[in-house]
């Protein structure tokens, strides 16, 4: 390994981040299906439907447009990998991707990346980092996600 | 065409540590002031979390707490095609750097990876904690420019196109890392969601990432 001499700097700056609440998404899932894989327990859950509401968006999860493709780890935390499509009331499509963790208490923390029409009403969601908190219902069939913009 | 980690934050984005701490102590408990003073000299003392909420109390609050910062020196900068092309791919190698803050101290493992950016950055490299532990960082980024810095309650307006003055333009550059850390004192990083701000500094050229854990 080549070494690297770190130049001396005194820039002990702290960048600030302010979260701004954006919207809520209630997702309805089929029961989870688990399978044993070399990477641990793979847990698939089909997203059946969902509702999106907030000051700047009203939309629905497009039925059967994806789901959750999680891995249950040895510490019982789930690596969350969720992909699905949302259709807004004005007809525009949104692709939503979530990366994060579902802890053993049923609470999620995740980052969402959203891709939308460059000429559409939801263009502001592109290239925006969303911080997500969520809670799963006891029967694991419903998850309510809350999205904050990381400004 | 610049790479994402070449973007320079506006002056008001890069608030000084002193200002940040004085803000934190004003908003927080008086008892904190002693802590803030020592933090100013050491740069790795814990700060209280900031909590954010929605318009109605049924929306769960989300907190951000400074976990650590990384000063990263990037080296080679290469492009395959151009960023205007769907095949555009940038490569910016990581030379090395330092990690400092309340929850992790160490260094960026020299020459351990790079940013292989496409439309947003996609970075893979290694941290080495002060205890020797190797921690893999896979970082994704988003970046947008606005006419002025974010202020709560005010809509963000797009940055004006040149030749309009760019003085007050705010580059909102956020990084979201996924860490793979060994079992032991750093294993909390495997189950924690982080969000970071990224600011490029000049003389010498380096980028400071401020990592917050999402509470």
Q: Which has the minimum average pLDDT: A86-95, A123-132, B43-52, B91-100?
A: B43-52
Q: Give the whole-angstrom CA distance, residue A81 versus residue B84.
A: 29
- The label of the residue with tokens 């981040």 reads A17
Residue B1 has pLDDT above 50, yes or no: no
Residue B208: name the closest of B61, B44, B52, B70 by CA.
Answer: B70
The model's pLDDT over B20-36, given as tens digits with 9 standing for 90+, comes to 333 333 333 333 333 33
Domain boundaries, chain B: 4-214
Residue A133 has pLDDT above 50, yes or no: yes
pLDDT value, residue B162: 86
Residue A45 has pLDDT above 80, yes or no: yes
pLDDT value, residue A117: 97
pLDDT, averaged across chain B: 83
Q: What is the domain count for chain A?
A: 1
Domain B4-214 of CATH type 2.40.160.20: yes
More confident residue, B119 or B157: B157
pTM equals 0.87
Q: Give the whole-angstrom CA distance, residue B1 versus residue B167.
A: 19
pLDDT value, residue B102: 96
Q: Give the whole-angstrom CA distance, residue B184 versus residue B188.
A: 9
Instruction: Indicate the pLDDT class of residue A27, thresholds 50, 70 and 90.
Output: very high
- The label of the residue with tokens 């290694």 reads B126
Q: What is the CATH number of the domain that holds A133?
A: 2.40.160.20
Mean pLDDT of B159-171: 90
Residue A72 domain boundaries: 19-150
Is residue A14 in a domain? Answer: no
Which residues on chain B are in Cβ contact (under 8 Å) with A103?
Answer: 191
Instruction: Indicate the pLDDT class of residue B14, thresholds 50, 70 and 90.
Output: very low
Token duo for residue B66 = 């400074």
The torsion angles phi and psi of B11, rounded to 5 degrees, stand at -60, -35
Token duo for residue A133 = 């908190």
- So what's the ipTM on this one? 0.95
> Do residues B67 and B104 make contact, with C-beta atoms less than 8 angstroms apart?
yes
Which residues on chain A are in Cβ contact (under 8 Å) with B55?
Answer: 21, 55
* β-pair partners for B38: none
Is residue A13 in a domain? Answer: no
Which residues on chain B are in Cβ contact (under 8 Å) with A14?
Answer: 15, 17, 20, 66, 69, 210
Q: Which has the minimum average pLDDT: A127-131, B28-32, B73-77, B197-201?
A: B28-32
> Do residues A45 and A33 make contact, with C-beta atoms less than 8 angstroms apart?
yes
> Do residues A86 and A94 make contact, with C-beta atoms less than 8 angstroms apart?
yes
pLDDT value, residue B121: 87
Closest by Cβ to A17, choosing from B54, B193, B212: B212
Q: Give the whole-angstrom CA distance, residue B200 versus residue B110.
A: 19
pLDDT value, residue B58: 95
Instruction: Indicate the pLDDT class of residue B8, thresholds 50, 70 and 90.
Output: very low
More confident residue, A63 or B85: A63
- The label of the residue with tokens 């959750």 reads A68
**Residues near B185 by beta carbon (within 8 Å), at least 6 away in sequence:** B129, B131, B133
């Amino acid at each position: 390994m080549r070494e690297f001499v770190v130049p001396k700097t005194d820039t002990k700056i702290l960048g600030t981040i302010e979260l701004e609440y954006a919207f809520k998404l209630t997702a309805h899932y089929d029961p989870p299906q688990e399978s044993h894989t070399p990477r641990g327990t793979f847990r698939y859950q089909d997203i059946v439907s969902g509702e999106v509401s907030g000051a700047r968006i009203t939309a629905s999860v497009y039925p059967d447009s994806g789901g959750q493709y999680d891995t249950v780890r040895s510490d019982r935390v789930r690596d969350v990998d969720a992909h699905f499509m949302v259709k807004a009331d004005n007809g525009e499509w949104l692709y939503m991707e979530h990366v994060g963790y579902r802890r053993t208490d049923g609470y999620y923390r995740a980052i969402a990346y959203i891709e939308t029409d460059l000429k559409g009403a939801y263009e502001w969601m592109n290239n925006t980092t969303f911080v997500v908190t969520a809670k799963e219902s006891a029967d694991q069939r419903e998850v309510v996600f809350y999205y904050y913009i990381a400004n | 065409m610049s790479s994402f980690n070449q973007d320079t934050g506006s002056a008001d984005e890069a608030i000084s540590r002193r200002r940040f701490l004085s803000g934190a102590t004003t908003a927080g408990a008086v008892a904190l002031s002693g802590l803030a003073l020592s933090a100013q000299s050491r740069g790795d003392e814990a700060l209280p979390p900031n909590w954010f909420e929605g318009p109605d109390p049924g929306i769960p609050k989300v907190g951000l707490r400074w976990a650590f910062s990384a000063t990263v020196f990037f080296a080679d900068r290469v492009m395959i095609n151009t960023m205007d092309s769907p095949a555009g791919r940038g490569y910016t190698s990581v030379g090395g750097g330092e990690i400092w803050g309340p929850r992790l101290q160490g260094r960026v493992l020299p020459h351990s990876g790079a940013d292989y950016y496409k439309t947003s950055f996609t970075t893979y490299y290694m941290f080495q904690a002060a205890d020797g532990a190797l921690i893999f960082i896979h970082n994704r980024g988003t970046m947008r420019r606005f006419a002025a810095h974010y202020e709560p309650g005010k809509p963000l307006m797009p940055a004006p196109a040149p030749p309009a003055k760019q003085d007050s333009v705010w580059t909102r550059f956020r990084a979201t890392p996924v860490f793979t850390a060994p079992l032991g004192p750093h294993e909390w990083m495997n189950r924690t969601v982080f969000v970071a701000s990224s600011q490029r500094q000049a003389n010498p050229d380096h980028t400071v990432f401020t990592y917050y854990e999402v509470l």
